[in-house]
Amino acid sequence: MAKVRIEEGHCPKCGSQDLEYGDSNLEYGDSEPKDQSIHYPYTCCNCDFDGEEVYSMEFAKHVSSDGLEVFPA
């Protein structure tokens, strides 16, 4: 039996890339910013597996409203 790769864009059950994505879903943890993650629910069109891809979010930087990076004074 072929080993199925677990990675984004691939069904973890059958390895198909024929995934149909629903609406992304931003979830905030209780308090710590490091608990934030985005869930992308999907259904595999090949084997009907329902799952979610979960992406963790981490703070990167501040930018001003015109998109310029802001450095500490």
Beta-bridge partner residues of 44: 19
Among 4, 47, 54, 63, binds Zn ion (CB under 5 A): 47
In this chain, which stretch among 15-23, 29-37, 55-63, 65-73 interacts with Zn ion, using CB under 5 A? 15-23
43 binds Zn ion (CB under 5 A): no
**Long-range contact pairs involving 52-55 (C-beta distance under 8 Å, separation at least 24):** 52/25, 53/8
Stretch that binds Zn ion, among 9-17, 20-28, 29-37, 57-65 (CB under 5 A): 9-17
Q: How far apart are CA 73 and CA 2, in angstroms?
A: 55
